[in-house]
Amino acid sequence: MTEYASLLALVPLLPLFSALILLFSKLPKLWISIFAVGSVASVALISLFFNVIFWQQSDFVLTASLGTWINIAQLKINFGLYLDPLSLVMITIVSGVGALIHLYSTGFMYQDNDLKRYFTYLNLFVSAMLFLVLADNLLLLYLGWEGVGLCSYLLIGFWYQDRKNNLAANKAFLMTRIGDTAMAIGLFLLFTQLGTLDIQEIQIKAHAVWSLNNDNNTMASLCCLLLLAGAVGKSAQLPLQNWLPDAMAGPTPVSALIHAATMVTAGIYLIARNSQLFQLAPDVLYLVALIGTFTLLLGASAAMVQTDLKRILAYSTISQLGYMFLALGVGAGASAVFHLMTHAFFKALLFLAAGALIYSLHHEHNIFKMGGLLKKLPVVAVSFAIGCAALASLPFTAGFFSKELILAQVIASGHSGLWWAAVLGAFITAFYSARLFFVVFLGQTQLSPNARPTKSMSLALVILSVLSLFGGIHPEGLKSLMPQLDTDGLSTLQHWLPIILPFIAISLAWWLFKTKRFGKPVPAFMQGVHQLVKSGWAFDRLYQTIIVSPFNTLCQVNKDDFIDLFYRLIEKTSGRLHMVFSKFQNGQLRRYNASLILFCILAFAWFISGELML
Amino acid sequence: MIPISWVFMLSLSLFVIGLFGVLARRNLLFILISLELMLNAVVILFIAASRYHSASIANSDGQIMYLLILTLAASEIAVGLSLVVHMYRQHHHLDIDKLNKLRD
Amino acid sequence: MTLFILLLMPLLGGLLAWYSERFDADLPKKIALLSLLLCWLPLIPLLSSMPFDASSLPNSQWLIDESYPWIPFFNINAHLALDGLSLLLILLTLLMGLVALSSAWHEITKRTGLFYLNLLWTLAGVIGVFLAIDLFLFFVFWEVMLVPMYFLISIWGYEQRHYAAVKFFIFTQAGGLLMLISLCALVGIHYQQTGILTFDYLILIQNPISGDLAFWVALGFTIAFLVKLPALPFHSWLADAHTQAPTAASVILAAVLLKTGGYGIIRFVLPLFPQASIQLAPFMMLLGVIGIIYGAMMAFVQTDLKRLVAYSSVSHMGFVLLGCFALNIYALQGAIMQMLAHGISTSALFVLVGMIQHRYHTRDLNKLGGLWLNLPKLSAFGLFFGIASLGMPGLGNFVAEFLILVGSFEQYPILTIFAASGLILAAVYSLLLIYKTFFGPIKRPHDSKITDTNTKEWCTLISMCFILIYLGLHPQPFFDLVPITLMKLNFIAADIGALL
Amino acid sequence: MNVNYYPAFILMCGALMILIQLCFKRSHITSYLISGLSLFLALLTQLFLQNHADTSDVLFVLNAQTSFVSLLLLMVVGLIWAQLYHWLKTINEQKEEYYLLFLFTTIGGLIMVSSNHFASFFLGLELMSLSFIGLIAYCGPDQKAQEAGIKYLILSALASAFILMGAAILYLQFGSLSFSNLMPNTSSQILPPWAIITAIIFIFTGLFFKLSLVPCHLWVADLFEGAPLVTAAMLATLSKLAAFIILWRLVTLGHWQQYPIIIDILSMVAIASMFIGNFLGLLQKNLLRLMAYSSIAHFGYLLIVLLLINNNAIEFSSQSFNTQTLFFYLVAYLFTLVGVFSIFMQLPKIKTLDDLAGLFWHHPVIAITLMLLMLSLAGIPLTLGFMAKFYLVMAAVSQQLWLVLSALVLSSIIGLFYYLRVIMAMLKTPADELKLKEINSSGSSLSLNILILFLVIGFGVFPSSLSQFIQQISG
């Protein structure tokens, strides 16, 4: 088994080498794209090869090590890679979807003269994500985690001339950084409690130490809470989710890769990877489910009222991630990862199709300015339709299998309240995906496309459409890794409702589209609610008022360092003291005589006072 | 026999009077005069002390000190008066309060 | 004798450079470069023979140990010794000397001879501080290294250079005088307790003094080092000194002079006063954390680029203080690593700021913007070092800050959580720095004669990048080099997390 | 005639020779040479007497310590004498009388330094003060010198009166005027106890005036500014050295330390003069006034030596170590001061800080010497001033005088500021070049600077030889 170790080591290093080569070389555009796409494609091939080898076995482990990193007293950390079914699924998604998106962006970004910088960042991102997914210890995972955050910051702010992009990039990096710091504190707690940061050892030791006496489960739940905070930050869940819609400022393939398929799923991977640890803290698991539900409702409702094409997809990503968190929360880790896979396929497809749309409608984002493009852009229309179908989880699409599985798991785990919220979410998802499709592609055309998507873009779209349709195969290895709940005890209502709902939602959307009510302004009394929901439930304004502006005013108040004022005060007083004493030096001889006598009097007075006190 | 503390009080009071003279007067000559008075006050005490101690230890340090102080007073006044003459020739007055060119 | 040669080389080099200015203008910098390179010679045999794997640690702590009688009456002797810690810091000093030289190559045009004299003499003073083992000799070097730095700032500085130079000198001198008194008190008490009158660190460390006076002596030493490592209440000299100093001087100031404070704490305060440093630890850690947050908040609102970087180093040095007084092996290794990583990343930022000022004659953030378009290479380096200073994993600063926080978490968890918030604030001001200077719309009309980085600048910056990456990915040789176990820090809890 | 009187005797003959030479033919160079020769001879005999002079009679104590002090005094006067000729050439007055008064002050100093009896102390004091009045008011037309002369006359007369009054009271109480038996615990209590204290206070007033310590410090700045430069140098070094030795001898021989009030007065005066001296100098522009205020501060530091109670148990508070501190501090401070004044003598037109601007770039050697002297005054390591401060701190720390030590630290920080101002002034770009052009850095002044640098920096870096020599003397 070890001869594959060197192959495994290649997986994260290949994109890293190609990124370095691109950084330091002066290649023509063609060679740049060949290098970039080649490296990620070869990683995709390797992961396919691993899939083929480990197809039958359900519990295999492949490790590789790239050398020691830190080795002091108890802290032994090395660059170890760990491949098991979960990380196999993850590297297949990352490299597969990544390769397709690289292929797509060779076409999309061709005119941009900063292509070299673009592909360097993209390759760096893929290698960081692979490090994250393959890390065998939490510190290397944290390295990948921050690397991914950095690359997303660089790529969001790729078009740096525009002030808006930079602010969006800063916002993204800072909010994920808050989550990362919480996770780092979790790491410290884990290390001080269990003495190791190796993921597998943590699971074993945690069970040994904390399950014995269930009184200090608080420590276990504290660790899980902190890791959850990291996951929430990275996967844009409830408290820290309003950076994702602004992250759409980056190029569309970037949004497809980072903010749909790979980076945002890192949080789910973290919780899935430490599932045994989370089992020790049932209350934290329930919290995960709650966060998932609330986020999915928030995302779905916000997506329903957006007008910007990419912001709709961003909010829909938030809500789908909410589903995955819900699945994790109820203990259905395998179905969460399965939904993650299918979501990667159809969301990447939707983003790339949207990119093609924007590419051909000379960078128009507002959906109400588009219309009737079915005839003009057939490939984009078909792929967009398949994507929306999978998103709405119409039967026989990949989305259908994974979402139904999650809903079934939720019922099996007995959380009926959460189930009803999930079903409502599914209904709204179907509604807004249908609304999106009808508004953009049916009705009379307002803008006529001036450029057609290139061959490489169409190829990527076709492959992704196929995957979204037939990608719904549940990977075997996952089932063994994380226990499944048996889903045969469902009532008929619970079985058939999620299947019928999408059709009702689509017909409602069709009715509204037909009566031209979509583009119209909302009636007066609904105006406030509409604005609230449109701005993502006003989280931006909330954080602005409680955190950003107080911090800003606090710093501005202390702009020139009140401690420095203290030293300037000393400077002034000594200057004034100098003036006081030099006033005595006024050259009067009689005053000098008096000073002599003054000494006598003072000394004598001191003596007398000393005497009297005795 | 006059108790020594009386003489001590006399010389101390003379000393203080001279001191007051130095402080109060503005004219340089009068300052020199009151300096003389202070030195004479000291001389009285020395003579009295030497007389008082002559019984126990036959030393006449006091008288020698008296002679030394007299010579000092004389030489000091000599130098002082030369400065007074010089000052008068330049300033045409002897008021030392006006002498404050040297100041901070 | 090698250590004395290492010390004398920059001194003579400086004199030669100053004297050679008579012949022609750019001879001094060549001589300065030559003497700096010669300084590496005594260290080469040491580095090659150094076993870089942890298995064969050198048996005694001191690699080279030389001592000559100096003032027999107080039996002070000129005792220089080199161990892992001082070897690391001297390598940093020599490296930063070269960087400062490269940044001053084109920038300093008037009175170059005197400039290189002062530059080299500051380096000699700092090397002396890192080598001196006799407490009196340490104090002499501690005060003497300030004089040439004072001249560097006050002659070649910018607008308010005199104010900044005097403020810098007086702050450190005040600390120094306090140390003089605590030094004499230490020797006096040691004599009373053991009957040996000595200033030698090795003898003083044998039986550390105890009692309440020892606490005050330890406090005296610590305050002197806190002034130099700018901890919170004594930090206000750093911002002025950096903004007014020429680039080369602020590189030396940031990279090396701040480290003498940290070095002093690790070398003198922790081993010499074990009980006192345990009592002092909580307050100093609190001071460190406040320093981290306060430095970051101050850096966030600065409009002057150099002041921003100066306050950022106040924040980084807060980490070092936290690490030193967390009193365990991880935090101490982290503190030493932070000193190295901060030395490199902050001086690189200063070199960049110097380059921007050399080209655009301004340091005001509101006037700078959109440099990426005209100067892509310079801005790429700026991005790299800005990211390094916010503690991106894979670079030196992260390893250091992680170790410090792990170490201090074991002692005081809540305090460490506040320190960890420093990581977020570090991201805030670093991103602000990068965004305000390199990204955003171009504010200034681009005239063609402003060139991107020339090869010399490129080489210095790229070498610093590689060092930072090497520090970040393979810090192990640096951890093995510092034999903490050999040092008398027996009160350090080495067994973290062994709850099983 | 005791062999120890020879140096004073030689100087006396020198003075007489100058007097006789005056009668025949006034020539500046001969009187310069005569005074130089007599000084040199006196120095030689003093050196010769150094190692085997240990007799003491009624009026004078002539042990190793006093011979060392007079050796120091003669060396200082010799250094000042070296530049006297060039400086006097610039004065349009009769030159020869200056040497006369110069020698008389030195003799007065010698007498005062080795006196052990109020009579000899008084004799030396008066000889020095009166000849100083002559030296100060030497330049006739200069009104400032006149004013300074009058001030010094009145004040020193007042001070002598106070000292004499104190002496008289002590004589009345103890029956003898010599310092060694001013034992306080005699049987007959002639005067009320407060009388003795007033006597000591009176003597302190006189001596504090001579040392320009705080309550009586107002005159020193005017004298330094008004008096001619060399006289100011003599005032700063000679009169203060002699006065301090007398104060030290009185306090140690007379065991005045066990009166608690004396310790309080001394420490309060020390702290006050440290702070006020430095505060006065803080923003002072005139160089000479600056040196006056710095001398107030330095004698405030030196006063700490009087607070040290000798007990041979503790390592650094034995009798010999306290005297070593005193001598080392005096040597360091006087040599630095003489150095500073010789630099001022080489820069005739430069009176204020702004005139100093740009000196570094035109006359590097002079500027570097002055810079190092300023650092020595500030107490920066590798200078003699620092070693002196180190001795002082060691002595004070071993006696746990924490209040005085903290005052020392704070005031030397304040002091540091105006020493740096002088250095800063030299580095500034010169306003007008002409003033700097006139300074002719002649050969002899260059060699003098090198000598001063050798003394201040040489001994600063390798103080072991000097500290050994002082250790032998103080026994």
What tens digit of pLDDT does each residue of B82-94 get? 999 999 998 898 8
CB B65 within 8 A of CB D123: no
Q: Subunits touching D (CB < 8 Å, at least 3 pairs)?
A: A, B, C
- Please, what is the average pLDDT of chain A? 87
What pLDDT sits at residue A42?
94
d(CA C354, CA C100): 11
Look up residue A456 and give its two tokens: 């490489």
- pLDDT band of residue D48 (cuts 50, 70, 90) is confident
d(CA A67, CA A78): 6
Distances C63 to C68, C83, C126, D46 between C-alpha atoms, Å: 17, 5, 19, 52
- Residue C174 distance to chain D (closest CA, Å): 6
- In chain D, which residue's Cα lies nearest the Cα of B89? D141
pLDDT tens-digit map of D99-116 = 999 999 999 999 999 998
In the 3-class helix/strand/coil scheme, how is chain C assigned residue by residue? CHHHHHHHHHHHHHHHHHHHCCCCCCHHHHHHHHHHHHHCCCHHHHHHHCCCCCCCCCCCCEEEEEEEEEEHHHCEEEEEEEEHHHHHHHHHHHHHHHHHHHHHHHHCCCCHHHHHHHHHHHHHHHHHHHHECEHHHHHHHHHHCHHHHHHHHHHHCCCCHHHHHHHHHHHHHHHHHHHHHHHHHHHHHHHHHHCCCCCEHHHHHHCCCCCHHHHHHHHHHHHHHHHHCCCHHHCHHHHHHHHHCCHHHHHHHHHHHHHHHHHHHHHHHHHHCHHHHHHHHHHHHHHHHHHHHHHHHHHHHCCEHHHHHHHHHHHHHHHHHHHHHCCCHHHHHHHHHHHHHHHHHHHHHHHHHHHHHHHHCCCECCCCCCHHHHCHHHHHHHHHHHHHHCCCCCCHHHHHHHHHHHHHHHHCHHHHHHHHHHHHHHHHHHHHHHHHHCCCCCCCCCCCCCCCCCHHHHHHHHHHHHHHHHHHHCCHHHHHHCCCCCCCCCCCCCCCCCCC
Helices (H) and strands (E) in chain D, counts: 22, 2
As a whole number of Å, the end-to-end CA separation of chain B is: 55
d(CA D265, CA C314): 45
What pLDDT sits at residue C54?
46
d(CA D311, CA D322): 10
Tell me which residue has tokens 């589903």.
A323
A to C CB pairs, distance under 8 Å: 145
Name the range with the highest mean pLDDT among A4-8, B88-92, D180-184, D330-334: D330-334
The ranges assigned to domains in chain D are 259-475
CB contact under 8 A, B42 and D161: yes
Give me the phi and psi of D178, to 5 degrees please. Answer: -80, 150
Q: Which of residues 228-287 of D touch B (CB under 8 A)?
A: 280, 284
Q: Is residue A448 classed as helix, strand or coil in its secondary structure? A: coil
Distances A602 to A113, A223, C264, C437 between C-alpha atoms, Å: 86, 71, 46, 65
Q: Is residue A72 classed as helix, strand or coil in its secondary structure? A: strand
d(CA A216, CA A441): 58
pLDDT tens-digit map of A559-603 = 878 888 999 999 999 999 999 988 888 888 888 899 999 999 999
What pLDDT sits at residue C110?
83
Kindly state the DSSP code that residue A65 receives in the 8-state scheme. Answer: E
A to B CB pairs, distance under 8 Å: 26
Over 70: is that where the pLDDT of D188 sits? Answer: no
Q: In terms of pLDDT, which residue wins out, C385 or D87?
A: C385
Ranges of residues in chain C whose predicted pLDDT is under 70: 50-60, 446, 483-500
Measure the CA dihedral D336/D339/D343/D346, to 10°: 160
A to D CB pairs, distance under 8 Å: 83
CB C224 within 8 A of CB C175: yes
Cβ contacts of residue A534 below 8 Å, gap of 6+?
A302, A305, A306
What pLDDT sits at residue C64?
83
Domain, as residue range, for B88:
4-93
Cβ contacts of residue D94 below 8 Å, gap of 6+?
D26
* Residues facing residue C78 across a β-bridge: C68
- Residue C391 distance to chain A (closest CA, Å): 10
What pLDDT sits at residue C253?
92
- Closest-CA residue to D418 (of D281, D263, D269, D218): D281
- Closest-CA residue to C93 (of C329, C257, C336, C214): C257
Q: For A594, which of B23, B97, B101 is closest by C-beta distance?
A: B23
Give me the phi and psi of A575, to 5 degrees please. Answer: -60, -45
What pLDDT sits at residue C242?
92
Over 90: is that where the pLDDT of B81 sits? Answer: yes
Over 80: is that where the pLDDT of D139 sits? Answer: yes
Over 60: is that where the pLDDT of D186 sits? Answer: no
Residue B73: inside a domain, yes or no? yes
CB contact under 8 A, C173 and D393: no
pLDDT tens-digit map of A322-337 = 999 999 998 888 889 8
Look up residue A426 and give its two tokens: 């599914």
- Closest-CA residue to C350 (of C398, C386, C303): C386
d(CA A419, CA D407): 77
**Number of domains, chain B:** 1
Measured between beta carbons, which residues in chain A are less than 8 angstroms from residue D208?
A: 599
The ranges assigned to domains in chain C are 281-495
d(CA B25, CA B39): 17
pLDDT tens-digit map of A602-612 = 999 998 888 88
d(CA D468, CA A509): 104
CB A605 within 8 A of CB D214: no
H/E stretch holding A62 reads: strand A62-72
Give me the phi and psi of C353, to 5 degrees please. Answer: -60, -40
Q: What is the CATH number of the domain that holds B8?
A: 1.10.287.3510
- CB-based contact, D118 to chain B, within 8 Å: yes
How do the residues of chain B divide into helix, strand and coil, expressed in percent and rounded to 5? Answer: 80, 0, 20
Q: Subunits touching C (CB < 8 Å, at least 3 pairs)?
A: A, D
Look up residue C308 and give its two tokens: 């921003």
- CB-based contact, C162 to chain D, within 8 Å: yes
Q: In terms of pLDDT, which residue wins out, A312 or A614?
A: A312
Q: For A590, which of B19, B23, B104 is closest by C-beta distance?
A: B23
Over 50: is that where the pLDDT of A256 sits? Answer: yes
Ramachandran assignment for C75, one of left (phi > 0), alpha (psi -120 to 50 degrees), beta (any other): left
Cβ contacts of residue D179 below 8 Å, gap of 6+?
D116, D117, D118, D249, D250, D253, D254
Q: For D261, which of A582, A593, A610 is closest by C-beta distance?
A: A610
Residue B27: inside a domain, yes or no? yes
Q: Is residue A233 classed as helix, strand or coil in its secondary structure? A: helix
pLDDT tens-digit map of A217-248 = 788 889 999 999 999 999 999 888 889 999 99
Q: Do strands A75-83 and C62-71 pair parallel, antiparallel, or not at all (unpaired)? A: unpaired
Look up residue C248 and give its two tokens: 């080369």
Interior angle at CA C207, CA C203 and CA C209, nearest 5: 110
- CB-based contact, B81 to chain D, within 8 Å: no
d(CA C390, CA C422): 10
What pLDDT sits at residue C492?
56
Q: Is residue D431 classed as helix, strand or coil in its secondary structure? A: coil
Give me the phi and psi of A515, to 5 degrees please. Answer: -85, 20
What average pLDDT does the segment D296-305 reach? 93
Q: Is residue B78 classed as helix, strand or coil in its secondary structure? A: helix
Model pTM score: 0.91
What average pLDDT does the segment A325-351 reach? 90
d(CA A344, CA D235): 93
- CB-based contact, B33 to chain D, within 8 Å: no
d(CA D202, CA D182): 15
pLDDT tens-digit map of C325-344 = 988 888 999 999 999 999 99
What pLDDT sits at residue D172?
87
CB D103 within 8 A of CB D38: yes
What pLDDT sits at residue B53?
77
Q: What is the CA radius of gyration of chain A?
A: 31
What pLDDT sits at residue C500?
34
Measured between beta carbons, which residues in chain C are less than 8 angstroms from residue A161?
A: 370, 373, 440-442
pLDDT tens-digit map of D146-169 = 999 999 999 999 999 999 999 999
Q: What's the complex ipTM?
A: 0.89
CB D391 within 8 A of CB D324: yes
The ranges assigned to domains in chain A are 313-520, 560-613
Q: For B96, which of A582, A585, A590 is closest by C-beta distance?
A: A590
d(CA D341, CA D84): 12
- CB-based contact, A595 to chain B, within 8 Å: no
Tell me which residue has tokens 């192959």.
A7
DSSP-assigned states of every residue in A257-283? IIIIISGGGHHHHHHHHTHHHHHT-HH
d(CA C108, CA C354): 11
Residues, chain A: 614
Look up residue A181 and give its two tokens: 């710091």
Q: For A606, which of D204, D219, D265 is closest by C-beta distance?
A: D265
d(CA C86, CA C127): 9
CB C182 within 8 A of CB C59: no
